[in-house]
Structure 1
């Protein structure tokens, strides 16, 4: 069984991205522009886990 704990939304038409955590219900972004989207998507998963208020046993 797969458990989804977060989703990364990337809109390639409008060149923007945002991240939603289903564990802490936090949202990160949105960021706009090709360079910002590229940088955001490269690190957001690990960055969010490092500061997630529900990280104690919540993320896998």
Structure 2
């Protein structure tokens, strides 16, 4: 097992961070908006599924009660 001293480790970390392609402001805003839109669509879908199941269950239980 190779051991690195802390200075070498920090130099390697700095070199790797320099290779990262960071998103620009437009990309961050666009992906954030996309996340909120998808979350809203998912919430509406599950609301409609819940409403359908609840209505159907109430109808079935209404027949026997």
| Shared fold (TM-score, shorter chain, > 0.5) | no
User: TM-score, normalized by length of structure 2?
Assistant: 0.23
Structure holding more helix per residue: 2
TM-score normalised over the length of structure 1: 0.24
Kindly indicate which of the two structures has a greater share of residues assigned to strand. Answer: 1
* More relative contact order, 1 or 2 (CA 8 Å, 6+ apart): 1
